[in-house]
A and B are shown apart, each in its own frame.
Chain A
């Protein structure tokens, strides 16, 4: 493997540094030498391990096994197939579009007056693969017990919502189109109609966010608040299953609903 070697490397600011590469095979090396107060230099070398551990630990495997068997009974059920991999992104992500669109659709089944949907990227906990989508995968995407809730906001608070959305660089939304200039909203459409701060708006979101999660303080003290009595995870599962029953696989697309104007 690597024997003791001295390297002379020219660093960015042209100092000639004499390094000593320490020799643990398989480790990237990061070496610093310090007395109580003095550290002279640090060298990091990054080495790929060729040594293979393809076998797991048997004792651990046998501990997992009974849990996994029971879990697989329900979680391995294939609910539908996805035409594409769906991932989080900002300001707009295909995964966020997918979940926000179906959440708005589910909300409309209960209350047709809901204007738009706002969720949070941080709450969508994994990516969806192209191909088979299992129940377990939806649990990983939305592991929380969060429920859908409709919040009625004043125009002023709705504006604060879009200010927040712009400042954080986008969150999953449906039913809106927003152009951001740097970190502020410049143009906002809600259902294809320009935003009007004298109107009130109904937003579907999760109870976690409605309670001020992710610093969404504009949801505090709303005009009204109505639980839809459905968990977001169950809404996703219902939608995915319904699409399958209607002979459709699932998909989503970018449509420029959150964009930077310049």
Chain B
């Protein structure tokens, strides 16, 4: 069994380093601490079947059947689980060309996805193409910065949703990428892209302060990191005040470990993204102590292959 250790020092408190050996295992046992497991995917791009055995990059990897088996296994182990996707469900295999995304949404519904945001490729059959597929999904589409009011998508998305797990309130909101220059105008029509920084500042504050969420999660299709001024998850995290976790997409970034940053208020923000095509499932475990308000985070990733393992 291989094992790798990573050490992060970006969050060293000014008083120095603290031993974590005081982590209250007894508290977890006595249920003072709630464990919340967040599983996530992004950019699955219609990859329903595993890559074929002769694929030069990902031979035999991925596939929704095995992802479902993995998720079911974790569901049996974890009481408080959220399953989220950061967009670009559509486009990438003939399943999309032939069925327009119907099977993708049906499978995600069956797997028990709690929410999904909208990626640029989810517009690939136009607004009508997306709207027509929504009845196949039993989970909400969460996006706060696309104004669909003058389109057929009006009223078919929600800006945020609050999930409650054993008294822990988790506010999830979504952000989409700028469409101009990325998606043909004929596909996105009268959708208005609103500044994600402004929108997220407002929504995340509302979630944390007005709706008293213990955790604020951003489902982002902005992309992990750009060299240019273009907004990305890294920049969003640094300018934010209330986001705890950003589940990213778009750039197909395989992060070997989540990225930890400090926000504007010097509080931590976690960013994670798990590549594309359902090759990996991300996992972040939050341990929330309801009494002391302390939390501890544990992250895990799964590569979806014959030995659903970890790489």
Contacts and interface: CB of A to CB of B under 8 A. Distances in A.
Interface of A: 4, 6-7, 9, 11, 13, 15, 17-20, 22, 24, 26-57, 59-61, 63-64, 67-68, 70-71, 74-75, 85, 87, 125-132, 135-136, 139-140, 143-144, 208, 211-215
B18 A46 contact: no
B294 A35 contact: yes
6 contacts: A26-B300, A35-B292, A52-B306, A56-B63, A60-B68, A67-B95
A130 B56 contact: yes
Interface of B: 1-13, 17-21, 23, 25, 45-46, 48-49, 52, 54-57, 63-66, 68-70, 72-73, 91-99, 103, 106-107, 110-111, 124, 181-182, 184-185, 256-258, 260, 265-268, 283, 285, 292-302, 306-311
B13 A38 contact: yes
Nearest to A88: B57
A83 B209 CA distance: 61
Contacts, number: 255
Contact of B3 (A47, A57, A135): A47
A56 B65 contact: yes
Contacts of A28: 4, 257, 299-301, 310
A46 B297 CA distance: 14
A40 B11 contact: yes
Contacts of A15: 9, 17
Contact of A127 (B48, B49, B57, B306): B57
A70 B298 CA distance: 43
A39 B268 contact: yes
Nearest to A40: B18
A20 B295 CA distance: 15
Contacts of A38: 13
B20 A57 contact: no
A51 B294 CA distance: 32
A127 B111 CA distance: 28
A209 B13 CA distance: 49
B9 A127 contact: no
A48 B309 CA distance: 6
B268 A34 contact: yes
From A24, A40, A46, A144, residue with most partner B Cβ within 10 Å: A46
Contacts of A132: 54
Contacts of A27: 283, 285, 298-300, 310
Given A34-B294, A37-B267, A48 B181 contact: no
Given A39-B11, A41-B9, A67-B99, A33 B23 contact: yes
B64 A60 contact: yes
